[in-house]
Amino acid sequence: MNAIQSQLKALHDAGKPVLGCFPLYPPLELIHSLGIAPAVLWGFKPYFTQVSLADRHLQNYACSVGRYLVEFVLRDAGETLDGLLMYNACDTLRNLPEIIDRGLAKDAGLPLHTFHVPAVSMERRGAREYLKDRLDGLIAWLEATFSVKFDPDSFEKSVSLYAEMRGLMQKVQKHVGEGKALFSELAELCSKLNFMLVEDQITALQEFCRACEEKTAAPTGSQVLISGILPPPPEILKAMEGAGLTIVGADLANMHRAWAYTPTAGNDPAAYYADFYENHFPCTTLLPTADRRLPALESMLEDCGAGAWIFAGEKFCEYEYFELPYVEKALKAKGIGVLSLEFSLGDEQNLGSMKTRIEAFAEMIEE
Amino acid sequence: MAQFVKTDSGKRLTRLITNGYMDNIVKAQQGAFVVWIAIIVPAEIFAGFDNVLYCVPESHSALCAGKGVGVSLCEKAENLGYSMDLCSYARIDMGCHFNQGADSPAGGLPKPDLLVSNNNNCTLLAKWFDVYHREWDIPHFILDIPFCYESQKQRDMEYIVSQFQDLIQTVEKLSGQKFNPEKMAQAWENSVEANKHWRRFLAAAKNKPSGITAFDSFVQMAPTLTMRGTPELAEHYRFLADETEARVEQGIVPAPNEKYRLLWDNIAPWHQLRKMSSRLGALDANIISASYTYCLGSREGSLDLLDLESLSPLEGMARLQNFSICPHGLQLRGRAMKQAIEEMDIDGVVFASNRSCKVYSLMQMDQQRYVQEELGVPTVMIDVDHADERKYSEETAFVRMEALLESIDEARR
């Protein structure tokens, strides 16, 4: 049993069914409000050295997020997960539900629900009503699968907890920007938070904040903003910090993009999630946010005081790579130093050359 | 090896496609409102306007690959910073249009006034079109079409129809032209008629030996994408079906010594059509059918034609948003493939694992296992890229395909 499974087992032991949610931005508040523990299925890299089970189902030009997800679910074989939930986050992820179903042994099958989040603005005719229908279907499935009952007051309470968590995340990120903690420490914390209940996330974040507040350090070295789906591996983050780079902002899907926006509180999931997806911090996977992406990045660079940008590319993530040339060009035109790195399975063989590039980049922007 | 001789419908197709591309350039120069669309976008809608024309970048990219300029155009896009891992259709298109139509065998596509993509075939089309939206400051309308793990539901159809209505209003507003629903309805009838003849043409594969190769169907599919809704398309497919049936009756078939009847799963390898067809022919093998073409107009998970009679044109078009294989889940694809294998007496299946098309390829390993283990049909998986020849090795592919033929022989003993 790996560390993630241990965390998820602890949730079981506390009487919570665990719903494995495909990344990137599933409706966590709704799931939590029904007494179910949501676990977003990413961040597995440190725990697997190979993905032999996933390799039986996915070609090697699938992104590592998809391959690790399949590997985890097939290895877990229902030991810690009680169900799976997928929304249409990307072309790779939408292919996976049936693949996973085929991969699990017949006696280890997991209940699985797929639902479609409108990939257009909620102002488009029919989009809100369609989302409401899909959410009603999701609620009905959760109720039937886990013998629970939706309650608007419970939903409102969960919304409030997640709002508190997001507020703490932003505070913690600010502390990192001020040099009171390393980004690598925050990334490590976030990887564990992913498999905790929101109540425990809040406790952990409060502790992190308290530790930061006792420090008075100011950021040293060249300040950079990092973008991507997931943070680079710990060795690379340490190499960046060792080269004198201070990551003061993280436009990462499992970090800032996920917690930057808190919808208006309420007890109606349809209204809440229409707001959530419509006004979400721009992500390459959220099609309606595309036009807001560059302005958001530029604003973030300014707010963090970062003079350089590192793209932590998830290999084979076309969503990120279609936008990269445009963003690179725009940032370079503003005098922002740019470094593009690429990460995938088997990175351990490339770390040496990556570290050299990081050091060269640090020297360049220092000049 | 038999010398390649173009049929009359092949010659007709060349004229239609060439004239189509030239006409678009001329009409655009004369002030037509130009829309670039993804292949599944219902082109019949634009027929409802007097002076709106549509272009299909994916189809143009396939043409470029087929004419041997795919790699050079990909390299142009890569030199602009676009990753080699991106879909080769997109790289070809960007390499061409960011260089003023350079190297296009059709003179390039006229610059668009509106981009319309959809996301059920693949979401990347929306990301690809967003590149132009940003670079050229052109509006981009995305049709949000739910993916199908089961047949399309009524609720999904209603959602899609509401978006078509929005699209019509958008074109009206941007073009200044009034929409005529009767003209669109006529275009829809033309498409339905064209599809009936298309199915007649594909049915020639049931003949033994097959009256067609899948490569014929790949090539002849082009006007469905670029001329949908026109009476010329319906007429061409009627001509194609009639000619094919007549040839079969006369015993004129592409692989007279057909020993192996194969099915191809994935997009066509545009840069290899004639070479692959000839080389397989020399082995008495014929790829007679392809999931890429047999799904056109079919119910999800089947080869049977969708019943569109009771639907309005917009509803019918909404229903046909699933006319490609990529919006279908694994179970649906498996059911359709089983039916194809049975109806066409398929001896073996070639799964072309296509690096540029994850939506088509990522289910293939499980699909291959299903066909091999549950249906008992020999299979092989080869590595291809539909438009980037650098990612294809002919010798490696043929070593595997020859091994498939040996498996078929073994299975027959």
Q: What is the per-residue pLDDT for B324?
A: 82
- Interface-testing mutation among B82, B133, B365, with chain A (most A C-beta atoms within 10 A): B365
In contact, B105 and B67? CB cutoff 8 Å: yes
In contact, B215 and B277? CB cutoff 8 Å: yes
Task: Report, as an integer, the average pLDDT of A120-140.
Answer: 97
pLDDT band at A106 (very low <50, low <70, confident <90, very high): confident
pLDDT < 50: residue spans in chain B: 1-2
Q: What is the per-residue pLDDT for A221?
A: 83
pLDDT band at A182 (very low <50, low <70, confident <90, very high): very high
pLDDT band at A123 (very low <50, low <70, confident <90, very high): very high
What are the strands, taking DSSP E only, across B284-355?
285-290, 348-354
Among chain A residues, CA nearest to B382: A59
Exposed/middle/buried for A148, CB within 10 Å: 0-12, 13-18, 19+?
Answer: middle
Could you tell me the CA-to-CA distances from B147 to A78, B177, B330 in Å, in that order? 26, 32, 11
In contact, A332 and A303? CB cutoff 8 Å: no
- Cα dihedral sign, A328-A333-A336-A337: positive
Centre a 10 Å sphere on the Cβ of residue B373 and count the other Cβ atoms it contains: 10
Q: Do B365 and A130 touch (CB under 8 A)?
A: no
Percent with pLDDT over 90 in chain A: 86
Could you tell me the CA-to-CA distances from A316 to A229, A339, B83 in Å, in that order? 12, 18, 9
Give the number of A-B residue pairs with CB atoms closer than 8 Å. 127
Closest by Cβ to A95, choosing from B85, B355, B363: B363
Q: What is the per-residue pLDDT for B3?
A: 54
- DSSP conformation class of A345: T
Give me the residue label for tokens 């075939």: B121
Report whether the peptide linkage leading into residue B209 is cis, meaning its omega lies within 30 degrees of zero: yes
Give me the residue label for tokens 């499980």: B366
Q: What is the per-residue pLDDT for B91?
A: 98
Amino acid sitting at position B103:
D
In contact, A220 and A246? CB cutoff 8 Å: yes
Topology, domain B183-412? Rossmann fold (3.40.50)
Identify which has the larger pLDDT, A137 or B2. Answer: A137
DSSP states along B55-119: E-HHHHHHHHHHTT-HHHHHHHHHHTT--TTS-HHHHHHHHHHTTTTTT-TT--PPPPSEEEEES
* pLDDT tens digits for range A37-58: 999 999 998 888 889 999 999 9
Q: What is the per-residue pLDDT for B4?
A: 62
Whole-number Å distance between alpha carbons of B316 and B326: 19
Structure-block tokens of residue A39 = 């676990």
In contact, B145 and A118? CB cutoff 8 Å: no
Q: CATH assignment of A3-150, given 3.10.20.340, 3.40.50.10860, 3.40.50.11890, 3.40.50.2020?
A: 3.40.50.11890
Q: What is the per-residue pLDDT for B1?
A: 42
Could you tell me the CA-to-CA distances from B411 to A119, B102, B289, B406 in Å, in that order? 47, 50, 21, 9
Structure-block tokens of residue B406 = 């040996």
In contact, B243 and B200? CB cutoff 8 Å: no
Q: Do A287 and B158 touch (CB under 8 A)?
A: no
Amino acid sitting at position B34:
V
- Give, in degrees to the nearest 5, the angle at Cα B223 between B215 and B196: 85
Sequence-distant (6+) residues with CB within 8 A of B289 are B202, B205, B214, B217, B263, B264, B340, B344, B346
Count H helices and E strands in chain B, helices first. 17, 8
Q: What is the per-residue pLDDT for B295?
A: 79
In contact, B286 and B262? CB cutoff 8 Å: yes
Element (H, E) at A299: helix A293-304
Closest by Cβ to A119, choosing from B144, B358, B362: B144
Among chain A residues, CA nearest to B166: A125
* Cα A102–chain centre separation: 26
Task: Report, as an integer, the average pLDDT of A250-275.
Answer: 97
Structure-block tokens of residue B10 = 């092949």
Could you tell me the CA-to-CA distances from B117 to A24, A244, B84, B96, B164 in Å, in that order? 23, 44, 22, 19, 12
Q: Do A88 and B163 touch (CB under 8 A)?
A: no
What are the strands, taking DSSP E only, across B157-293?
260-265, 285-290
- Max CA-CA distance within chain A? 62
Q: What is the ipTM of this complex?
A: 0.96
Percent with pLDDT over 70 in chain A: 100
Q: Do B135 and A287 touch (CB under 8 A)?
A: no
Nearest to residue B216, comparing CAs of B136, B273, B301? B273
Task: Report, as an integer, the average pLDDT of A1-21.
Answer: 89
Chain B partners within 8 Å of A324 (Cβ): 81, 83
Q: Kindly report whether the global pTM for this prediction surpasses the value 0.90.
A: yes
- Interface-testing mutation among A318, A320, A323, A331, with chain B (most B C-beta atoms within 10 A): A318
Task: Report, as an integer, the average pLDDT of A309-318.
Answer: 97
Structure-block tokens of residue A319 = 């969503």
Topology, domain B8-180? Rossmann fold (3.40.50)
Shortest distance, CA B15 to any CA of chain A (angstroms): 35
Q: Do A326 and B131 touch (CB under 8 A)?
A: yes
Sequence-distant (6+) residues with CB within 8 A of A7 are A192, A195, A196
Q: Mean pLDDT of all residues in chain A?
A: 94
